[in-house]
Amino acid sequence: MNIRIRGISYGFTIHQENKDLPSLVLLHGFMGSGQSYDHLISDLKEFCNPITIDLLGHGTTEGAELHYRFSTKEQVADLTKLISEQLHLPLFLYGYSMGGRLTLQLALHRPDLYKGLILESSTFGIEGETERQARQALDAKRSDDLLGNFEGFLHNWKKMPLFESSTASEQLLGQVDEIQQQQNPLWLANCLQGFGTGTMPCVRSRLAEIAVRVNLIVGEKDSKFVHINRQMEKELPDAELHTVKNAGHRVHLDQPEQLITHLKSFIQKLGQS
């Protein structure tokens, strides 16, 4: 279904409404959509009510002509309004990569809405100003590439070292390609500039404010994010890190069965408390 939130038509799907089960909202990564989790929905329904949201400028959700509309402040306002007004609370919130960065921002903004957080291959942001500026410059270049040659950008994106260690099936990788091909290049470019890692506020200094339980999930082959998530585990008040074997950055694609096992254990344990 689609609903207008602060002037933007947002697409989201409530896949099941079982009053005896907790709800789980899943936020996808850059160039993804709610369909990125289609292969997990059937198993998720056994222990929760899965809800997928197309983030700003992705999937069936509208974007904006100016990149400021993709800023952390704007997206947090959108999603907080959608979640607080349309869904049963409190709920579990899951985010992969870019969606995980949004998950942290949302939890800091309205912690009362969430019973627990699951972050897959995510980060608190970039601390150093030099590194932040370098990332902003990189995302600006990527934005130009998106607008100048979308097919070329998609080809180069798939070849990034971040995804080299993928063990996902050809079927799932084909679905990823299809989702990416359907995106709007202008909206993706604005997303990179408005909510890139170098632009969003770094929240490392605020991790201690997150009082709810956090489940950190990262693939063992994704060394950069293994390091980042070890740092987060130490600084979050109540967190546990799960390093998934034979998985890279996209754990939900590389090892969906292991991911489901972690999610079921986490949600059922907290759901009974």
Q: HEC string of 172-206? A: HHHHHHHHHHCCCHHHHHHHHHHHCCCCCCCCHHH
The per-type count for the chain, helices as H runs and strands as E runs, is 10, 8
CATH of the domain at 126: 3.40.50.1820
Please list, in sequence order, all residues whose beta carbon lies within 8 angstroms of the beta carbon of residue 20, skipping any fewer than 6 positions away: none
Low-confidence ranges of the chain (pLDDT < 50): none
Give CA separation, 144 vs 149, 190, 261, in Å.
8, 10, 40
Q: Which domain holds residue 105?
A: 2-271
CA–CA gap between residue 199 and residue 142 (Å, rounded): 14
CA–CA gap between residue 186 and residue 67 (Å, rounded): 9
Domain count of the fold of the chain: 1
Please list, in sequence order, all residues whose beta carbon lies within 8 angstroms of the beta carbon of residue 48, skipping any fewer than 6 positions away: 21, 22, 23, 24, 92, 263, 267, 271
Q: Are strands 114-120 and 49-53 parallel, antiparallel or unpaired?
A: unpaired
- Which pLDDT does position 164 carry in this prediction? 87
33-73 pLDDT, tens digit each: 999 999 999 999 999 999 999 999 999 999 999 999 999 99
Give CA separation, 75 vs 14, 118, 244, 253, in Å.
20, 19, 30, 26
- The SS3 assignment for 53 reads strand
Q: Are 32 and 120 in contact (CB under 8 A)?
A: no
Closest CA to 110 of 149, 79, 156, 143: 79
Tokens matching residue 264 = 């079921």
- Which pLDDT does position 165 carry in this prediction? 85
CA–CA gap between residue 101 and residue 114 (Å, rounded): 15
- Which pLDDT does position 272 carry in this prediction? 63
- Which pLDDT does position 35 carry in this prediction? 98
Strands (E), the chain: 2-5, 8-14, 23-27, 49-53, 91-96, 114-120, 213-219, 239-244
Closest CA to 83 of 95, 69, 96, 70: 95
Question: How big is the CA angle at 62 (ends 57 and 67), to the nearest 5 degrees?
Answer: 50
Burial class (CB in 10 A: 0-12, 13-18, 19+), 152: exposed
Other CB atoms within 10 A of residue 109 CB: 14
